[in-house]
Amino acid sequence: MKVGKVIFNNTELGKSLQILSFDKNIQTDILYNNNGFQKAGLSQLYNLYINDKYKDEIVLFIHDDINICDLFLSTQLNAAMKEFDIVGIVGNQECRKAEVKWTSWYDENKGTIEHQCYEKLSGTIKSP
C-alpha cells in the first residue's frame, strides 16, 4: 500500500486532495492496486459505497487523472445535494464495447478512434 500511496499522491487527483486537505468535510477512501487475478469490477467497488452505511454521506467516484480546481468543493456539493439526489460532471448516454474514454471508442472496421456525437454527451470537464 505504501507504494500505491506514493504513486497516487503524484496523480492529478492526489495533488488536488493534498491541496483540499484543509477541508475537514472531505474524507477519502482510496482503493489501490485493483489489478491481476483478484481484480474487482467497477460495479463491485461502487457497491461498497452505495449502501445504507453511506446513505447520509456524499460519495464521489473520481478517476486519478482528474484535477479538482474548486477550493469550495464540499460547499458546492452540499448546495447541489439540497436540490438533486445525484450530481455529476460528465456523462455519455451510449456505451460502446471498445470505448477508449467517455467521449470516444475504437472502430475495429476502420481501425480508427471515433468520437461520440455531442448530442450523446453531457457536462463539462477539464483534464490535462
Query: Residue 71's pLDDT is what?
Result: 92
Q: What is the DSSP string of 28-55?
A: --------STTPPPHHHHHHTTSSGGGT
Q: Whole-prediction pTM value?
A: 0.64
Instruction: Please write the tens of the pLDDT for every residue from 16-56.
Output: 999 999 999 999 888 877 777 778 888 888 899 999 999 88
Determine the structural domain holding residue 23 and report its residue range. 2-68
Strand-pair partners of 125: none
- Residue 117, domain member (yes or no): no
Residue bearing the bigger pLDDT, 88 or 81: 81
- Residue 128, domain member (yes or no): no
Residue bearing the bigger pLDDT, 70 or 36: 70
- Residue 83, domain member (yes or no): no
Residue 112, pLDDT > 60, answer yes
- Domain count of the fold of the chain: 1
Residue bearing the bigger pLDDT, 53 or 113: 53
- Residue 118, domain member (yes or no): no
